Amino acid sequence: MTGTSWIRDMTKANLPRDKMGRFFKGGTAYPNGRPECVVPGCHAPFRSGSGYCVKHISQIRFYGKVLEHTKFDPRQAIIEGNIAKIPLNINAKDGYAIVDKEFAWLDQWKWHLNQKSGYANA
């Protein structure tokens, strides 16, 4: 397939079109604002005729599917008693960094395991 026509085939988004088959932009076509991406939990405005936002169009183009998690997603610390467990990598692939509960705010950075030293790095 050539161009981006394959994206339209992946989803049959039922979005309003004019007589020429083009999507309406603004005005009364979208009284509640521009439609959002069709991926659950994504509130970005859709782009093109697929119903996906730019982020998800890129994921489909490169990976052939919408990814569940990416390295940019937030990773919340898990608080158990007086300790906080900060996930290392996506879905805690490399385990957790254990810190005191008062340092749970460190989860604002993306932590990973340094393969050479064995220590957690941000």
Which pLDDT tens digit goes with each residue over 40-92?
888 888 876 778 888 888 999 999 999 887 777 778 888 899 999 988 877 67
Query: Would 37 be classed as within a structural domain?
Result: yes
The residue range of the domain holding 95 is 78-121
Indicate the number of domains in the chain: 2
Q: Do 46 and 82 share a domain, yes or no?
A: no
Q: Do 84 and 59 share a domain, yes or no?
A: no
- pLDDT score, position 1: 47
Query: Would 72 be classed as within a structural domain?
Result: no
Instruction: Identify the band that residue 14 occupies on the pLDDT scale cut at 50, 70 and 90.
Output: low
Query: Would 70 be classed as within a structural domain?
Result: no
Of 34 and 4, which is predicted with more confidence? 34
Coil vs helix vs strand at 99: strand
Q: Tell me how far apart the alpha carbons of residues 16 and 29 are, in angstroms, rounded to a whole number.
A: 7
| 37 Rama class: left (phi>0) / alpha (psi -120 to 50) / beta | beta
Give the pLDDT confidence of 15-53 residue by residue, as tens digits.
Answer: 666 666 666 554 455 556 678 888 888 888 887 677 888
